[in-house]
Structure 1
């Protein structure tokens, strides 16, 4: 396995070296803060990149849960050893690679009708709101803020 990784890195290095890039014209030197902030503003100002940022955050959150909890769950809850932890982490990695490779084909071949997408979104919103409102006696935070919570409870 290590030898295969070495071959992959060496192959990647050769591909990177083989690329010919034109040299950009020299620009005024900017500090790290200016360059970082400019990059962040460009990223946040582009709608497609904002969506990509949210998807990356969701994927990172799921990946963090896997990385943090796999060892604990496999060892303590399942009572298995180190080899099983490695198998579980490998299965998660293989599943994420498979999803990344197949996602484009799935999105091209299958689609949800526009109405179904709206219905799924409405159901998720209703379910989340229902749980939240039950914890607030069916009043929203705005109702509590302006003092309408008691009137709403009397109506129901």
Structure 2
């Protein structure tokens, strides 16, 4: 298996993940029924996000946290939702990629899930706090608060 190498690989990963997530009985309805997400519109945005996170491409210039806070206002997102999202992401990565960038994709997803959950719950403790306690949340503000470009 090879590592993630650029936009085409990110696109393949993001597409595989979202197709899996949309069909998932636990989180799929959040995407399809609550957010009513248009996958064709959403995929390029998420490719921008992950390309920026993994390769510092600077193509994502939105605020991921705000989008999820608005969604949480309509449908409360629980720790179990974030855990399932993370499990599906890790599975999608491991199914097709291995290497430094693949590992970074999993580490960053763990950071993102933990940070979003913590911020939506006003800083409440969760399983993700152990990650934070190991000092792995140093980039959360840049990643979630807007542009993640260097």
TM-score (norm: length of structure 2): 0.22
Which has the higher relative contact order, 1 or 2, with Cα contacts under 8 A spaced 6 or more apart? 2
Say which one has the larger Rg.
1
Higher helix share: 1
